[in-house]
Amino acid sequence: MIESEPVVVEQTFDAPIAAVWNAITDKDQMRQWFFEDMVDFEPKPGFETEFSVHCDGRDFVHLWKLTEVIPKQKIVYDWCYRGYPGRSTVVWELSTTPDGAQLKITHRAEEAFPQDDPVFSRQSCQDGWDWLIRESLKDFLERQTS
């Protein structure tokens, strides 16, 4: 994935900002809606983690390094895959709205991923974030707050 335009997904949740923050930063909660194979996660700059995800008959080792954290407002990390070229940045931004908490994800490719592999296509990235935020996280938060 390397596009001039980043993948952006926005979603408003009927939940307090603290609940959304915990869902995107607490490793036990993240395993329930994001990546179940995540071993560890700490919302602090410099923290690095890796975990494997099986997709299309292959394993992809995700490598994350957190670069910025503003509690209950913003978290930023570099995202790449072991054994594949490419690097991206993911920015999570939280804000309060009259309807609850709004989350905005901006996923920008910084260095090109393999262009001949559909797993790394912009559409695959968009579809993945749409499902993760608008379905998986939304369902998770609804279960937590009901």
Report how far apart the first and last C-alpha atoms of the chain are (Å, whole number): 37
Fold of 7-145: Alpha-D-Glucose-1,6-Bisphosphate; Chain A, domain 4 (3.30.530)
Quick one: pLDDT at residue 35?
93
Tokens representing 112?
A: 């090109």
Long-range contacts of 126-129 (CB under 8 A, 24+ apart): 126/7, 126/9, 129/7, 129/9, 129/105
CB atoms within 10 A of CB 101: 22
Query: In the sheet that 100-111 helps form, which strands lie side by side, from edge to edge?
Result: 7-13, 100-111, 87-97, 74-81, 58-70, 48-55
Tokens representing 73?
A: 């407002």
Is-contact 126 1, C-beta < 8 A?
no
What confidence tens digit (pLDDT) does each residue in 110-146 have? 998 988 899 888 899 999 999 999 999 999 999 987 7
Tokens representing 93?
A: 């931004």
Question: How much is the pTM?
Answer: 0.92
What confidence tens digit (pLDDT) does each residue in 39-84 have? 899 999 999 999 999 888 899 999 999 999 999 999 999 999 999 9
Q: Where are the domains of the chain?
A: 7-145
Return the sign of the alpha-carbon dihedral for residues 110, 41, 69, 55.
positive
